[in-house]
Amino acid sequence: MSDDTGELEARLTEQDEFAPPESFVEQANVSDESIYERFEEDWPDCWDNAADLLDWTSDYETTLDDSNPPFYEWFTGGELNASQNCIDRHLDERGEEVAIEWVGELGETRQYTYSELHREVNEFAATLKELGVEADEIVTLYMPMIPELPIAMLACARIGAPHSVVFAGFSADALSTRMNSADSEYLITCDGYYRRGDALEHKEKADEGVAGVDHDVTGIVVDRLGEEYDHSMRERDHDYDELVAEQEGATVEPVDRDAEDMLFLMYTSGTTGKPKGVKHTTGGYLAWVTWTANSVLDIKPEDTYWCSADIGWITGHSYIVYGPLALGTTSVMYEGTPDYPEKDRIWEIVEEYDVTQLYTAPTAIRAFMKWGAKYPDAHDLSSLRLLGTVGEPINPRAWKWYYTHIGNEECPVVDTWWQTETGGMMVTTLPGVGNMKPGSAGPPLPGLDAQLLDGAGEPVDNGQAGYLTIQKPWPGMLRTLYQNDERFVEEYWSEYSDTESDDPDDWVYFPEDGAKIDDDGYITVLGRVDDVINVSGHRLGTMEIESAIVGVEGVAEAAVVGGYHEVKGESVYAYVITEDGYEEGEDLRDAIVAGVEEAIGPIARPEEVVFTPELPKTRSGKIMRRLLEDIANDEQLGTTSTLRNPDVVSDIQQKATDN
Ligand code: WT7
């Protein structure tokens, strides 16, 4: 940026609405604002527009079957295969174009053209079949950001075996819980990976996880570290390269899958301690991510598009793998961290590969801001055409910094609100259509009906905070929680629905977020209203963390809340009561941190551990998390009059300040 940055920033601070750049609108995939009206009039058939972006081997009969709410079915009777849609159908025209542009942390790169990806996926699909994997058997993938991860996902899709990807940063315990819950008998993992230049082992963690699985497991191990790390192979394990070599040149016909057949499971955190297995389908999910990748991310086949998320989370599933590849574009996949070897790594990659769209998280943007504009300024970022954010609210200052310093005021910024459960984007501006308002995600996408309600189910006035609800089904929605229809209804549909009714109009989806809406219908998402916290865009259940902490010797009781964090958005604050005879202090604090890392993973590590003699409780014995949040955030305390033990609050406050 030039010397007049200060002046520019002063001007931008005042501005709270930005029109999409003319140059962008002219070439946008969607630029006709009548789309909102057309979709509303034509609902639910408007979603044929999404299905039409896919290749179907059998046409569907019905767009939406809503005869048994909330168990909606989309594109019923249709058949397709996700791997065929993401690979085979591009071979004729784009076989020699790059599908996956992989950038390793240490500077190595691997490119897979669509033809090469086709070969790799076929050979691995043949490998899985040879091992005995059958359609509908759930395969667990516990891998970091290496090309074998999307290859394995697509190979599973090819043979009709749903995958369940477990984020590599999750602990051994988290792996066992997920494999047990899904009855998954196959595990694909690797020896280790690199983080900030160091080799990290992964296989031992995977072994420890398998030790906690209550059935037999067959393993396939990718050798990522080579000589660097001599990993152990167990009786159950097979070497990835060896197995694939035996299948050299093999092809596997993509199996026809019913639109409603499960494409994958993705576990996510909820209010209770047990992670929820979110079930996504082949037809509806794929149509949804493809349609949104086209209309919101504006992806075209000739683009080099980059989503910096990890494939272990839903963002990576939808917008590194399925959406972009279904559109036949080049998807960048980066193994490492944004500040290694230097704080300009992201910008170096954008410049080197002429990245056209960048989709990242507010946490990353706040970190870039902190590091300073000199890092992006040192690179030519003029290839960028669109910027996106996802995962947590973005504060207007970070939004404007992104818009100015990265986008040079020439790229629209889409702030996309959605969830693991929604499959893909739900609330965001269409970049070629609507004005942007920093800090506000925007209106619901065309064909979606989002409303803000109060606790009694009445609509709230514009400008007031309320609960975000989705009033109509959409193709990308989760179909159920794995083998737990009851919990599915309970978690998402009980709050605002008439659960006795067969009329779909009486069923309302509740995502557990609070929000505000303005006179233009723009929605500002405020955050979760349940016991879920959002650390760097990663969703963590406070109950899961609490149960890890009370498992530590010497801990009697614990309460976990999210406290404000400048970069991460929220961080984990733990309030802990020790057992009689145990001493508060560094040793116990270290044990607590280690206990959480072991049970969940380093992302859930408490930022603060506050020892307290008591926790604020209501007369009925419920912990008042709201008050603890206020303490964590150093805010004016809410009412304490309903507390059984009002004095405890000032004690804890004192302790928190002493920390
Ligand atoms: C929760 C979902 C969306 C994929 C990654 C996270 C929060 C997500 C935004 C946004 C404000 C957001 C919500 C939501 N969230 N996007 N643009 N603005 N908040 O998926 O792990 O399922 O978490 O992330 O609170 O409920 P997830």
Distance 525 CA to ligand 1 centre (A): 9
Q: How many structural domains comprise the chain? A: 3
- Using CA positions, which residue lies closest to atom 23 of ligand 1? 419
Residue 441 lies in a domain: no
Please indicate, yes or no, whether residues 565 and 643 belong to a single structural domain of this protein: yes
Pocket lining: 424 vs ligand 1, CB cutoff 6 Å: no
- pLDDT attached to residue 3: 42
CA of 309, closest atom in ligand 1: 5
Pocket lining: 231 vs ligand 1, CB cutoff 6 Å: no
Please indicate, yes or no, whether residues 505 and 558 belong to a single structural domain of this protein: no
- pLDDT attached to residue 66: 98
In the chain, pLDDT over 70 holds for what percent of residues? 96
Pocket lining: 525 vs ligand 1, CB cutoff 6 Å: yes
pLDDT tens digits along 172-213? 999 999 999 999 999 999 999 999 989 999 999 999 999 999
Please indicate, yes or no, whether residues 343 and 469 belong to a single structural domain of this protein: no
Please indicate, yes or no, whether residues 295 and 354 belong to a single structural domain of this protein: yes
Pocket lining: 314 vs ligand 1, CB cutoff 6 Å: yes
Domain boundary residue, one of 521, 556, 583? 521
Please indicate, yes or no, whether residues 329 and 364 belong to a single structural domain of this protein: yes
Contacts for 35 with CB less than 8 Å, ≥ 6 apart: 430, 433, 446
Residue 389 lies in a domain: yes
Which 3 state secondary structure label does DSSP give 585?
coil
Where are the alpha helices (H) located in 182-313, listed in sequence order? 203-211, 240-246, 283-295
Please indicate, yes or no, whether residues 197 and 109 belong to a single structural domain of this protein: yes
Please indicate, yes or no, whether residues 512 and 533 belong to a single structural domain of this protein: no
Please indicate, yes or no, whether residues 515 and 533 belong to a single structural domain of this protein: no
Please indicate, yes or no, whether residues 587 and 504 belong to a single structural domain of this protein: no
Answer yes or no: are the C-beta atoms of 192 and 200 closer than 8 Å.
Answer: yes
Distance 18 CA to ligand 1 centre (A): 23
Pocket lining: 528 vs ligand 1, CB cutoff 6 Å: yes
Distance 392 CA to ligand 1 centre (A): 5
Domain boundary residue, one of 371, 397, 431? 431
Residue 304 lies in a domain: yes
Distance 537 CA to ligand 1 centre (A): 7
Rounded-to-5 percentages of helix, strand, coil across the chain: 35, 25, 45
Pocket test of ligand 1: the residue of 534, 536, 544 to mutate, having most ligand atoms within 8 Å of its CB, is 534
- pLDDT attached to residue 1: 39
Q: Are strands 357-360 and 386-390 parallel, antiparallel or unpaired?
A: parallel
Answer yes or no: are the C-beta atoms of 187 and 217 closer than 8 Å.
Answer: yes
Distance 146 CA to ligand 1 centre (A): 25
Cα atoms found within 13 Å of the Cα of residue 525, Cβ hemisphere only: 27
Task: Please check the confidence at residue 4 and state whether its pLDDT lies above 60.
Answer: no
Where are the alpha helices (H) located in 600-646, listed in sequence order? 625-632
pLDDT tens digits along 274-311? 899 999 999 999 999 999 999 999 999 999 999 999 99
CATH number of the domain bearing residue 632: 3.30.300.30
pLDDT tens digits along 538-585? 999 998 999 999 999 999 999 999 999 999 999 999 999 999 999 999
In the chain, pLDDT over 90 holds for what percent of residues? 86
- Both tokens of 118, joined, read 């086709």
pTM of the model: 0.94
Please indicate, yes or no, whether residues 318 and 453 belong to a single structural domain of this protein: no
- Both tokens of 194, joined, read 């690199």
Residue 438 lies in a domain: no
- pLDDT attached to residue 8: 63
- Using CA positions, which residue lies closest to atom 18 of ligand 1? 393
Please indicate, yes or no, whether residues 548 and 501 belong to a single structural domain of this protein: no
Pocket lining: 416 vs ligand 1, CB cutoff 6 Å: yes
- Using CA positions, which residue lies closest to atom 21 of ligand 1? 539
Pocket test of ligand 1: the residue of 436, 513, 530 to mutate, having most ligand atoms within 8 Å of its CB, is 513
Distance 309 CA to ligand 1 centre (A): 13
Please indicate, yes or no, whether residues 511 and 412 belong to a single structural domain of this protein: no
Pocket lining: 191 vs ligand 1, CB cutoff 6 Å: no
pLDDT tens digits along 316-327? 999 999 999 999
pLDDT tens digits along 465-519? 999 999 999 999 999 999 999 999 999 999 999 999 999 999 999 999 999 999 9
Whole-complex ipTM: 0.99
Residue 2 lies in a domain: no
Residue 404 lies in a domain: yes
CATH number of the domain bearing residue 282: 3.40.50.12780
Residue 427 lies in a domain: yes
- Using CA positions, which residue lies closest to atom 20 of ligand 1? 419
Higher per-residue pLDDT: 635 or 42: 42
Residue 289 lies in a domain: yes
Give the domain extent around 143.
22-66+82-431
Distance 221 CA to ligand 1 centre (A): 32
Domain boundary residue, one of 521, 548, 583? 521
